[in-house]
Structure 1
Amino acid sequence: MSVPVSTEHEVRDIEKGAPPARFARGWHCLGLADSFKDGSPHEIDAFGTKLVVFQAQDSGELHVLNAYCPHMGGNLARGTIKGDTVSCPFHGWLWNGDGRCADIPYARRVPPRARTRSWTTLEENKQLFVWYDPEGAPPPEGVTIPRIEGVFDGQWSDWTWHTLRVEGSHCREIVDNVVDMAHFFYVHNSFPTYFKNVFEGHVATQYQATAPRGDMTADQTVSAQGDTRSVASYYGPSYMIVYLDMDVDEAGTTVETAMINCHYPVGPDSFVLMYGAIVKKLPGMTDAEAAEAAAQASQGLAAGFEQDIEIWRNKTRIDNPLLCDQDGPVYQLRRWYEQFYVDTADVEPAMTDRFEFEIDTERAVRVWQAEVDANLARQTAAER
């Protein structure tokens, strides 16, 4: 009996492609602003180079410059802050926040061309951002980071904040999660009951509702103990704000959380991932209790990202994913994401026009509930 031999037309080959040679245009968060306000310059590996972040002593402003001094290549991040300048540790050249050399202690005059790159910065939500554009253009009108009012009104906790570097993966891997409903069940042990995406302009949003899985212990799941409703939006290529409401008891008590998921590229296949949370204080909740609630939210984020990173470390890049009818709009999201990697003149309406897609979760919920029920039955039988 002969066995049919598959032809090349019956097998879908994975197209890996190569990560983009350029970095995404947009605002990129470098971390909590206060972490750079300790009187020392700070070194950041980003965009294929090194940056120095420093706070001017007199004005109090945060500045970002290219880290390597254009005189003889000294690393300004290893220098000192003097007034509103950063001093190179190699020859003492002083650099202003605008990139101009302010003084050379041993020279009679400063060369007219003594300038280095000064990066456009923004402080918002108590975080520091830099603007990156390979064409050198300033931020367009209306493209900014929205304010989270809870950061400033005194009714919320302070930020928790975590930073880790991911090697061997491009930033696209984390952005793909915006449309990937199924991975929340299989990777994060969550239980999505509603899932919708809306892309428009430079914003990509995920609307999601989840229910707790009864077959998981607390250390196996990153989902909440009660039902949750979340709205998660990328504002540009790398900064996501997540607003999440979590039901915590049968009396209808809801905890409001704002979470940040953000990153900046180090190289074509590495990036720094950061995340944090603030929690709105419930009536009678102390500052310490609010901080603990925010810490718990961050622990959930940490567990989730650890699960994602384990997947990224062992998967391949795939430019032509084979999708089924209940997968999210992966190709449409990547088309939206592409706008940040092409020249502004090449941004097409298809990348920015409004697009909506809602997944019918009825079948998924039915199948997943049956799996959860079967797991619970096995657990009960094992305990007898």
Structure 2
Amino acid sequence: MTTADEVRTIEADSVPARFARGWHCLGLARDFTDGKPHTVRAFGQKLVVWASADGRLNVLDAYCRHMGGDLSRGTVEGDDVACPFHAWRWSGDGRCARIPYARRVPMRARTASFPTLQQDGLLFVWNDPEGNPPPDGVTVPRIEGATSDEWTDWSWYSVTIDGANCREIVDNVVDMAHFFYVHYSFPTYFKNIFEGHTATQIMKGVAREDVRRPQAEGSGAPKVLGQTSVATYHGPSFMIDDLTYHYTDGDVESVLVNCHYPVTSDSFVLQYGIVVRKAAHLGEAAEEVARTMGEFIKIGFEQDVEIWKNKARIDNPLLCEEDGPVYQLRRWYEQFYVDSTDVSAEMTDRFEYEIDTTKPNAAWRAEIEQNIAKQNATAESRPV
């Protein structure tokens, strides 16, 4: 029997030894099409990525099954990658295609290959600890703005996060309150929907008047008033956010991609990209707006990174009514770490939860007004 005075302890199992089943984005496809093999460290191993002569991207385990040479330090020969040690040539399906000095290729000359997907200028790789191919129903939807002349090109960013597990970033899907304290946004509406392999966050917010933003600096510059966001994880690691910023001179429609892939159990590569619709009121400034928004979002992610690097892993978070459905999200997320036969209905059945923002909004509005009053008092006390 517990009492009110009993100290709450933090419970935390070790991070999972396996890596999530699903499509993971490795970055912009064009970064791998220069005719050279590329090293990618992911899923606890080293991979080699290269483009075949027809432009198709391939991903294999980087170590040659002959004598252990590093294929990512080899060369691309036509459709194949050649080992720098003995020039064994490996095709994208994992088979040894040729041994220059041998009469025949050994029958068992196979290495680990990963299914790939090139879509919207991005490269995806499928990871499954059980070795199964991607099911037909598990897909990544197309992003209209990524292939339209009416939108900008990708502004893309990447950073390696050490000392944190991937679950830390996924928790943000349900964490309404951190947007106010960490990202200086004032959430006025917040709802989550989980179903199948997707997890959605719907948020509306207004800009905090007590925090200066780069967009608001300069005389006559348009100011951001707020944002509307519908962000969905499609699988364990790829989120598409239909994000509209509301400025004093009009709305700016954008699509933000927030994605990651694990390097080890306690490190991951965080990537995000943004495309912006070339609205009439933006004129020739659309590309610059995309870059500015990307840099602003970068600041927000850096704020998250500082939290992740210094926080404790906690499996039994102590929650209040205004916190989001953390336990339900983690139950949804668990489906990607168990065998496919162990995925249960409670992990995939539709679940909806809308947070009552009445109390948070009242408290935050009072805090903002107090901060503004302090700022005004400080400004008035400065000598002229």
State the TM bucket, normalised to the shorter chain.
over 0.9
- Distance in 1, Cα, partners of 2:87 & 2:335: 42
Matched, 1:333 2:333: no
Aligned to 2:268: 271
Aligned to 2:228: 229
| Structure 2, unpaired ranges of 5+ | 217-222
- Distance in 1, Cα, partners of 2:360 & 2:25: 36
Q: 1:98 aligns with which of 89, 93, 96?
A: 93
- Distance in 2, Cα, partners of 1:249 & 1:9: 51
Following superposition, the deviation at residue 7 of structure 1 comes to: 7.6
Letter of the 2:27 partner, please give it.
Answer: G
Following superposition, the deviation at residue 289 of structure 1 comes to: 2.0
Matched, 1:255 2:252: yes
Matched, 1:366 2:372: no
Deviations 1:123-148 (A, max 9, x none): 11210001111111111121011001
Aligned residue runs from structure 1 range 294-305, under 5 A: 294-305=290-301
Matched, 1:38 2:34: yes
Q: 2:22 aligns with which of 18, 26, 43?
A: 26
Letter of the 2:238 partner, please give it.
Answer: Y
Letter of the 2:334 partner, please give it.
Answer: E
Aligned 8 A contact 1:181 1:327 in 2: yes
Matched, 1:313 2:309: yes
Matched, 1:167 2:162: yes
Following superposition, the deviation at residue 149 of structure 1 comes to: 1.0
Aligned to 1:74: 69
Following superposition, the deviation at residue 285 of structure 1 comes to: 4.3
Aligned 8 A contact 1:189 1:220 in 2: no
Q: 2:13 aligns with which of 2, 17, 20?
A: 17
| Structure 1, unpaired ranges of 5+ | 1-5
Following superposition, the deviation at residue 171 of structure 1 comes to: 0.2
TM-score (norm 2): 0.94
2:306 alignment partner, SS class: helix
Q: 1:357 aligns with which of 340, 353, 358?
A: 353
Deviations 1:228-275 (A, max 9, x none): 11000000000000011111115xx21101001000001111101000
Aligned to 1:3: none
* Percent of pairs with identical residues: 59
Following superposition, the deviation at residue 17 of structure 1 comes to: 1.4
- Distance in 2, Cα, partners of 1:290 & 1:70: 49
Aligned to 1:210: 205
1:143 alignment partner, SS class: coil
TM-score (norm 1): 0.94
Letter of the 1:56 partner, please give it.
Answer: S
Deviations 1:64-114 (A, max 9, x none): 111000001111110010111111001111111111111111112111111
Aligned to 2:117: 122
- After TM superposition, the runs of 4+ consecutive aligned structure 1 residues lying more than 4 A away are 6-9
- Distance in 1, Cα, partners of 2:69 & 2:293: 41
Matched, 1:84 2:83: no
Following superposition, the deviation at residue 63 of structure 1 comes to: 0.6
- Distance in 2, Cα, partners of 1:302 & 1:100: 41
